[in-house]
A and B are shown apart, each in its own frame.
Chain A
Amino acid sequence: MELLELKGISKEYRSGKGAVKALSDINLSVKRGEFVSIMGPSGSGKSTLLNVIGCLDRPSAGEYFLDGMKVDRVSDDKLSEIRNRYIGFVFQNFHLLQGLDALGNVELPLIYRGIGSAERKRRAKEALDAVGLSDRIHHRPSELSGGEQQRVAIARALVQEPLLVLADEPTGSLDSRTGRAIMELFQKLNTERGITVVMVTHDRDMARYGRRIVRLLDGRIKEEEFIG
């Protein structure tokens, strides 16, 4: 069953003199439970693609179905709801809120879902446990190492029980050993929980954790490679 289906997706940015075409005619489908890596040189449109998939940005043209719903033209509030219910984000810079401890950061998506405090805390602790940080729940981001911060971010994505986790260069700010540990975590979530992962990276080694690599060039899909 297709979780993501992109049909003829284009994205143009109006900047300065003319329009910049970041994506043109992207056709891509991702099945439930897949682990897809998107690669490409900088400026190839991979982050734009991830933003469109993550409902953070709307395509200029084309159709996008997420779990069978047509989401390319829904309202801003509806997009917020979709992100909250279906999509977990993991960023290169972790994007944790500095004022909150690990638990508070992980709770955040559940707050916007309107879940009560006790339930929120229970689920957040569970998620932190799953990424091996049960002894760090009251540490603030500044008191955690890069790898630990990224684990908190992953726990924050996990707590939503998402269908899809989108990761934008998740190992970009980490050393290679920590990076590999993070990738193994993604792999584990993918195989054990069946969470679909779509990851953008320019690191060939990291990309190989996925089972399919989609290569972009100048806003178009150049080639797809399946890893055996």
Chain B
Amino acid sequence: MRFFFAAQMAWQGVVINPLRSGLTVLGVAIGVASVVSLMGIGEGARLAVVKQFESLGSNVIVIKAHDAKAEFMPEEAEELLERVSGLKYASPVVRTNAVMRWRRARGQVEIIGVSSDFPELRDHRLVSGRFFTKWHVEQRSPVAVLGYNIGAGLLGGRSPVGQTLTLNGQTYRIVGVLEKKGPGQAEGIDDKVVIPYTTALKIAGKKTVDELWVKAESAKAADLAIAQLGRIYRRKLGFDATAPKPGDGEQQQMPGKEGAEKPVETLPAPQPEDQSKEEKPALELGKDIITITNLNTLVEEADKANRVMTLLLGGIAAVSLLVGGLGIMNIMLVAVTERTAEIGVRRALGAKKFDLLLQFLMEAFYLSGMGAATGTALGIWGVNLFNRYGFNAVISAEAVRVAVFVALGCGLIFGVYPAWTAASVPPVEALRR
């Protein structure tokens, strides 16, 4: 009963001075809105990066040679499946370009040559047709699987499976079209043509590949596989696998921007006194020759970095929220001073200290509550606005929760002191004004 009336009278206090209440609410609202929208931007950026990495497939390890002399035989991919435990799929990767011809149209396309493990390895599904098989790879068959954009463009949406196109003048049969991954996802696979690596090597005029992909059964298996792969390639380059020299081995580096590969296991060139010097004299000293990268850790690192960014943005916004809270305190203190006579009258008519405490506290609570509601709406609107200008902001439920909670908390905490002041005014004093 008492609570209900205090709530009612507090509401009167809010509406009696609409301009002042409005400005106070605006102060809180701006704070809440900035928390919601800035954290939304941060969170959006984080999710975008995570999604980009995830589109590369989970538990994937990339082995890359940075020197022509260290390149791999394509068959090595298959061998790794047997030599390293916990690996499920493997594929050499050949990247090249070709002139594609479809009916009367022609143009340059990016080619990626892989094994038949590719769909499982990189979590690709097909919208039509099937992926090429192991047999196709062995036979160096002229078959192609098209990225979504290319596949959908050929026949205006109808499936081109079964049709033929030419790459550098040779005829290829289209056997499948990959599912859409989205712009910038999975290394832009949507605009590429996927063919067997054996066929791709022919186009590229090469016998070796500079990249191998393997996929582990689990995140844990990937971690173990990394160590095993490190030993294998260290030995291959002529290091003693069992007793690596100091400075040889695993150096952790921070990930670069834009999905750069992070060398988890970096193998530098052998030292001059090394016996391998004679065998591979062309290797440049002191440069990374082979990098073995666990994409999982890349995702984690990027995620961590972006979380820090989100927190930073949120922190900046929180300051404005705090200022909004101080605005409530300020306004409530002014209200108490200005309304001393009112307090006196209420006391004379029988209001207890608690009644006044409750009334002024509720008033502060209303202001912060309306600020929180307006701010959330403004923040959501802001997020949409940012997105219209190319941001990938998201409305994070966590940000909304935190902002609303902090705003209400500010209202209550900053409302207590003025409310207590109001309740403590002796009625005689108050009536004298």
**Does A203 sit at the interface, judged by CB under 8 A?**
no
> Does B355 sit at the interface, judged by CB under 8 A?
yes
Q: Find the A residue at minimum CB distance from B15.
A: A99
Could you tell me the distance in whole angstroms from the C-beta of B367 to the nearest C-beta in chain A? 16
> Once bound together, how far apart are the Cα atoms of A119 and B342, in whole Å?
24
Tell me, yes or no, whether A54 is within 8 Å of chain B by CB. Answer: yes
Assess the A54–B348 pair: CB atoms within 8 A: yes
Query: Which residue in B13, B15, B346 is a CB contact (below 8 Å) of A108?
Result: B346
Residues 1-51 of B contacting A (Cβ, < 8 Å): 1-2, 5, 9, 12-13, 15-16
Chain A residues with CB under 8 A of B232:
none
Cross-interface CB contact of A99 among B12, B344, B348, cutoff 8 Å: B12
Q: Report yes or no: B346 in contact with A77, Cβ–Cβ below 8 A.
A: no
Task: Tell which of B1, B15, B342, B431 touches A91, judged by Cβ atoms closer than 8 Å.
Answer: B431
Known contacts A83-B349, A114-B2, A56 near B16 by CB under 8 Å = no
Residues in B with CB closer than 8 Å to A109 are: 349-350
B16 touches A80 (CB 8 A): no
Contacts of B234 in A (CB 8 A): none
Interface Cβ pair total, 8 Å cutoff: 63
Looking at chain A, what size class is its interface with the partner chain? Answer: 20 to 34
A113–B341 touching, CB < 8 Å:
no
Chain B residue nearest in CB terms to A84:
B350
Say whether A99 contacts B428, CB under 8 Å: no
Chain B residues with Cβ below 8 Å from A56 are: 347-348, 427-428, 431
**Is B130 engaged at the interface, CB distance under 8 Å to the other chain?**
no
> What are the interface flags for A64-93 relative to B under an 8 Å C-beta threshold, 1 for contact and 0 otherwise?
000000000000110011011100010100
Is B229 located at the chain interface by the 8 A CB criterion? Answer: no
A119 → chain B closest CB, angstroms: 12
Give min CB distance, A19 to chain B, whole Å.
17
Q: How far is the CB of A166 from chain B (nearest CB, A)?
A: 9
* Pair B1/A114 contact, Cβ less than 8 Å: yes
B88 sits at the interface (CB 8 A): no
CB distance from B49 to the nearest CB of A (A): 54
Most A CB atoms within 10 A — which of B15, B349, B354, B426?
B349
Report yes or no: B350 in contact with A113, Cβ–Cβ below 8 A. yes
Interface status of A100 (Cβ within 8 A of chain B): yes
Task: Give chain A residues whose Cβ lies under 8 Å from the Cβ of B427.
Answer: 56-57
B283 within 8 A of A: no
Cα–Cα distance between A149 and B344 once the two chains are bound (Å): 18
Chain B CB within 8 A of A156 CB? yes
Considering the chains assembled together, what is the distance between the CA atoms of A84 and B348 in angstroms? 8
- Does B16 contact A112, Cβ atoms closer than 8 Å? no
Q: Tell yes or no: A142 within 8 A of B by CB.
A: no
Counting from the closest, the 4 A-B pairs by CB-CB distance are A84-B350, A99-B16, A112-B350, A109-B349
Task: Knowing that A91-B431, A99-B15 touch, tell me 4 more A-B residue pairs with CB under 8 angstroms.
Answer: A80-B351, A96-B345, A111-B5, A112-B351
